[in-house]
């Protein structure tokens, strides 16, 4: 796993020497891509920053710029990237995030980079305007410098972990997972090609190692065991509070674990491979099945809707469908046994999907809503008061997109299929109830799946998503998803039955991670 990160460090260094650049921004109006912003071959402030930041994480010495972007990340950027994330203040709230920014250098530097990028987009009327701002070059330099530092910190952490030999430090491993996942978050926001595959593999390696060493109980993965391993003495020890107070490492590990599992699932749909941690999901992700609650007593499960906005049962189904798709692609011959196995598995997944959809409140009333969607208001003027209802709306969108995905895997590329048309109609209906730009941005996978099979008269409804997000369309993969849809629509009459969602995702010349 150390090789994954080291290779990326060398690759980036070589690319900067050859191209003298770090990032490029795609304009939101579909015009030609901007030329990359040049960066100097060597910046003495980078080496100075290493020393300054080392002391700065103890608070003294932070520059005004770093203080501003740290505050922006805490107050605005994190909430925009993860609008669904909610944890009780009594359990520690988001105090872990501040602690990670102060103590984990890799997370600190990538957070500054994210804030810099977010700031340039908010200031600009469109992405192409950012280079003409007086402070533009300084912002890009800040972004590039801190991203370099984040990668250096991850490399150093990997080397330190390797030098430790068998004497593993679970706290260090957990923070390394956080640093790499934060890097994945940055790459998703910046839409940086296919680097994510390398970093995802590294994060999954470290994550698996943590559970192999600290999270196995009676032969099964147990998140509770890992959380106990990273516990610390607390003033709350021995008190019967009726809730748990997490320390910063425990809260951070749960958050980054949820994001990593989410990325593992969605990446499998892009790569047409079974999710790497699929066998672990039942012991880690809550599927909402009350009938199985007794069997999982003693397991601490992740409620994915609190992190991603989508209930766990839908994400588990996506992972199972992706695994079925990968298995189907591995057939050496169309045998009767294999065909029957495939058919039975598909029927089982369809039943689970329909049972889940019917359990969601408001499914039938979604078709009767009116008025302008909440996401048409500016991102900082949007209502976020009814999180439970919003999660149900988001889960409904995810579930109907999952129905489309299942139909394509089991029946082939037939967008005119009545079941697919039904699911697309519901996705568009629920889309009108999305309350904010941040929530809309987090629906990139289901919207892309539904958009790719949209009929010609539904195209404009999906095209309208871009203008609704304004300049923040460039913050994340929604702009790529819209380009993917356009590519598929242009080929609508040429696509054969064997065409897949993975093929759609690859139309840009590389595999996009739709998160």
- Are 411 and 453 in contact by the 8 Å Cβ rule? The answer is no
Rounded Cα distance, 311 and 299, in Å: 18
Please tell me the chain's helix, strand, coil percentages from 3-state DSSP, rounded to the nearest 5: 65, 0, 30
pLDDT in tens, 83-116: 999 888 777 889 999 999 999 999 999 999 999 9
Q: What is the pLDDT along the chain (515 residues), one digit of tens a residue?
A: 445 544 544 454 444 343 333 333 333 333 333 233 333 333 333 333 333 333 334 445 688 888 999 999 999 999 999 999 988 877 788 999 999 999 999 999 999 999 999 998 888 755 455 445 556 667 778 888 888 888 889 888 888 877 766 556 899 999 999 999 999 999 999 876 778 999 999 999 999 999 999 999 888 899 999 999 999 887 777 777 777 889 999 999 999 999 999 999 999 999 999 999 999 999 999 998 765 654 566 679 999 999 999 999 999 999 999 999 999 877 655 677 888 899 999 999 999 999 999 999 654 454 445 555 666 665 555 555 577 889 999 999 999 999 999 999 999 999 999 999 999 999 999 999 998 999 999 999 999 999 999 999 999 999 999 999 988 999 999 999 999 999 999 999 999 999 999 999 999 999 999 99
- The pair of three-digit structure tokens given for residue 185, joined into one six-digit string: 């978050």
Alpha-helical (H) ranges within 332-417 are: 336-359, 387-411
Q: Write phi, then psi, for 395 (nearest 5 degrees).
A: -65, -35
- The pair of three-digit structure tokens given for residue 203, joined into one six-digit string: 């994060």
- Are 202 and 262 in contact by the 8 Å Cβ rule? The answer is no
- Are 36 and 19 in contact by the 8 Å Cβ rule? The answer is yes
Question: At 19, which helix (H) or strand (E)?
Answer: helix 2-19
pLDDT at 383: 55
DSSP 38: B
- The pair of three-digit structure tokens given for residue 316, joined into one six-digit string: 């588990």
pLDDT at 435: 87
Contacting residues for 156 by C-beta, under 8 A, at least 6 apart: none
- The pair of three-digit structure tokens given for residue 409, joined into one six-digit string: 């895997």
Q: What is the SS3 assignment for 285?
A: strand
What would you measure as the largest C-alpha separation in the chain, in angstroms? 70
- Are 233 and 223 in contact by the 8 Å Cβ rule? The answer is no
Closest CA to 360 of 443, 297, 426: 426
SS3 of 232-278 = CCCCCCCCCCCCCCCCHHHHHHHHHHHHHHHHHHHHHHHHCCCCCCH
Rounded Cα distance, 515 and 512, in Å: 9
Output the CA torsion sign for 65, 34, 122, 479.
Answer: negative
pLDDT in tens, 292-305: 654 566 679 999 99
Rounded Cα distance, 95 and 78, in Å: 13
Contacting residues for 180 by C-beta, under 8 A, at least 6 apart: 5, 106, 154, 199, 202, 203, 206
pLDDT at 20: 35
Q: What is the SS3 assignment for 217?
A: strand
pLDDT at 42: 33
- Are 81 and 120 in contact by the 8 Å Cβ rule? The answer is no
pLDDT at 333: 54
- The pair of three-digit structure tokens given for residue 416, joined into one six-digit string: 């005119």
């Amino acid at each position: 796993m150390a090789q994954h990160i080291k290779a990326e460090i060398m690759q980036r260094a070589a690319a900067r020497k050859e191209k003298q650049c770090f990032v490029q921004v795609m304009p939101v109006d579909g015009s030609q891509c901007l030329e990359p912003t040049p960066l100097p071959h060597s910046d003495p402030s980078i080496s100075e920053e290493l020393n300054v930041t080392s002391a700065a994480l103890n608070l003294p010495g932070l520059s005004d710029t770093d203080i501003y972007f740290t505050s922006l990340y805490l107050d605005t950027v994190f909430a925009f990237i993860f609008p669904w994330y909610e944890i009780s203040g009594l359990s520690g709230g988001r105090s872990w995030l501040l602690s990670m920014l102060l103590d984990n250098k890799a997370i600190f530097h990538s957070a500054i980079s994210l804030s810099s990028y977010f700031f340039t987009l908010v200031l600009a009327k469109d992405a192409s305007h950012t280079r003409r701002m007086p402070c533009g070059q300084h912002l890009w330099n800040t972004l590039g410098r801190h991203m370099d530092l984040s990668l250096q910190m991850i490399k150093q952490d990997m080397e330190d972990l390797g030098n430790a030999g068998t004497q593993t430090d679970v706290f260090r491993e957990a923070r390394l997972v956080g640093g790499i996942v934060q890097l994945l978050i940055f790459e998703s926001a910046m839409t940086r090609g296919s680097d994510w595959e390398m970093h995802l593999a590294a994060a999954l390696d470290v994550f698996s190692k943590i559970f192999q060493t600290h999270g196995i109980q009676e032969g099964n993965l147990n998140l509770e065991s890992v959380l106990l391993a990273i516990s610390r003495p607390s003033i709350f020890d021995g008190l019967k509070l009726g809730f748990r107070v997490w320390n910063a490492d425990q809260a951070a590990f749960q958050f980054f674990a949820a994001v990593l599992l989410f990325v593992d699932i969605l990446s499998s749909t892009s790569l047409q491979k079974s999710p790497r941690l699929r066998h672990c999901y039942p012991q880690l992700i809550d599927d909402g099945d009350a009938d199985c609650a007794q069997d999982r007593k003693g397991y601490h499960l992740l409620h994915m809707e609190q992190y991603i906005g989508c209930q766990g049962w839908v994400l588990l189904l996506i992972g199972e469908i992706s695994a079925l798709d990968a298995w189907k692609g591995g057939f050496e011959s169309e045998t009767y046994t294999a065909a029957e196995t495939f058919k039975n598995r598909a029927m089982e997944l369809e039943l689970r999907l329909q049972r889940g959809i019917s359990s969601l409140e408001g499914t039938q009333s979604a078709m009767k809503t009116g008025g302008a969607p909440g996401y048409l208001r500016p991102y900082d003027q949007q209502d976020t008061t009814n999180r439970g209802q919003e999660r149900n709306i988001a889960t409904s969108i995810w579930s109907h997109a999952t129905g489309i995905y299942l139909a394509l895997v089991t029946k082939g590329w037939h967008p005119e299929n009545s079941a697919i048309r039904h699911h697309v109609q519901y996705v568009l209906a629920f889309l009108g109830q999305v309350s904010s730009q941040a929530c809309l941005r987090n629906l990139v996978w289901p919207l892309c799946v539904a958009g790719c099979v949209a009929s010609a008269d539904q195209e404009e409804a999906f095209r309208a998503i871009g203008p609704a997000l304004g300049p923040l369309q460039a913050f994340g993969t929604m702009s790529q998803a819209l380009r993917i849809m356009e590519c598929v629509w242009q080929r609508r009459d040429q696509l054969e039955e064997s065409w897949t969602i993975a093929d759609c995702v690859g139309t840009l010349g590389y595999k996009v991670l739709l998160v």
